[in-house]
Amino acid sequence: MSAVPNAVFDTNAAAEREILFRVVNRVAIVTLNRPSALNALSHAMVRELAVLVEHCRTDDGIVALVLKGAGSKAFCAGGDVREVERLAKNGDSRWLAFFVDEYRLDYALHRFPKPVVALLDGIAMGGGMGLGQAARLRIVTERSRVAMPETRIGFLPDVGATRFLSVMQAELALYVGMTGATLSGADALRLQLADLCVPVDWLATFEERLHRMSHEGDLMAALRSVFEPPCNIVPHAALQSFTPLILKHFDRRSSVERTFATLRHDLEREPPREIRQWLQATYDALQAHSPTMLYVTREALLRGRQMTLAECFRMELGIVRRVIEEGDFCEGVRAHLIDKDRKPRWAPATLAEVRAERVRHFLSSPWKREAHPLAGLGAEEG
């Protein structure tokens, strides 16, 4: 992309663009416009977004940025992992550039000097969370479906998740990251992955209120008033009743094996139906995931709690390279997204076969410090 698009598009031309851009009352609205693919991010979209974010950062006529998805189904379902798998299987190293560019974009949004609002309506997963969690005002609705489901495909929660999941208790972060559990908007609000949960109908009319927004006084307060209804009733957070179970089974001082053992133990005690359903769903999710990546994800999430944002991105990129070149990623994508037989052949296939040295290897950087593709990230943090 050579230039920033005009604020007004021809309708047909706009329909063909994967990123739409316009300015309303000095607020830039950037729309991910790939609704047929649930607004999943292609590499071209990541590069275009990076150009737009830089334009918004330097343009004094723009005071804030709103990120949204086209259509009613998704904000952004993640990155284009099928394309990553295709490149990796063909020995094409361009897949690495996608992650480098995506992480730089996410980091730029985290460090953006103007308010960023993310409308996490519908599906917001993976790469969509990388964008959304960088915002200062994260809006969800009753139809939001929020998750970091990467362990399902032999991957790990990345795009800064080893940092942004640390806003919650370690046990809750381990539960969300290891199981890939899908959260409602109300659950996301309770777990501090959202700032407001509002009705879809109210969100649909935000531009009318944005037109009338005053630029006097506190800009963040003015933006919040655009998105927060006068009388907001937040739906029940279904996960709240299971918090004691999560704290028990995903104890940070425990281990992956211990989590499986305690879940099995509680299931054998014939608990009440609702608790049994949660225990079984949690056990089945973990049982279906890559054994290696359960270990790696747990350790990465715990390490990330002690790291800066830039350090987390560097750690994640190293793990990503290891996982794609030597791990279960390609097999996970094949089983769940290409052949869709839902029968991944993980290597190794069981927890007992995962060696501690392999886990340490996945967590070790493939690059020397100065040669890391993200070596310059976060120089201002040091």
Give the containing element (helix H, strand E) for 347: none
pLDDT value of residue 338: 95
pLDDT value of residue 16: 81
Residue 158 is among the residues annotated as catalytic for this protein: yes
d(CA 299, CA 362): 10
pLDDT value of residue 234: 87
Catalytic residue among 48, 102, 150, 266: 150
Question: H helices of 180-305, where?
Answer: 185-190, 200-204, 206-211, 219-227, 243-249, 256-268, 273-288, 291-304
126 within 8 A of 68, measured Cβ to Cβ: no
Segment 340-369 mean pLDDT: 96
364 within 8 A of 318, measured Cβ to Cβ: yes
pLDDT value of residue 10: 40
1 pLDDT more than 90:
no
Cα Rg of the chain (Å, integer): 21
Q: Which CATH class is domain 1-147+185-236?
A: alpha beta
Q: Which CATH class is domain 150-182+238-382?
A: alpha beta
Please state, rounded to an integer, the average pLDDT across all residues of the chain: 94
Question: DSSP labels for 311-333?
Answer: HHHHHHHHHHHHHHHHSSHHHHH
pLDDT value of residue 14: 54
pLDDT value of residue 128: 98
Q: Let me know how long the chain is.
A: 382
β-bridge mates for residue 24, sequence order: 27
Query: How many alpha carbons fall within 13 Å on the CB side of residue 229?
Result: 15
Catalytic residue among 122, 126, 127, 177: 127
Domains 1-147+185-236 and 150-182+238-382 share a fold: yes
Catalytic residue among 106, 121, 158, 299: 158
Q: 378: pLDDT confidence band, cut at 50, 70 and 90? A: confident
Largest Cα–Cα separation, the chain: 63
Residue 127 is among the residues annotated as catalytic for this protein: yes
Task: Give the residue extent of every domain in the chain.
Answer: 1-147+185-236, 150-182+238-382
Residue 150 is among the residues annotated as catalytic for this protein: yes
pLDDT value of residue 232: 87
pLDDT value of residue 379: 77
**275-315 tens-digit pLDDT:** 999 999 999 999 999 999 999 999 999 999 999 999 999 99
Catalytic residue among 78, 79, 128, 327: 79
359 pLDDT more than 70:
yes
**40-96 tens-digit pLDDT:** 999 999 999 999 999 999 999 999 999 999 999 999 999 999 999 999 999 999 999
209 within 8 A of 224, measured Cβ to Cβ: no
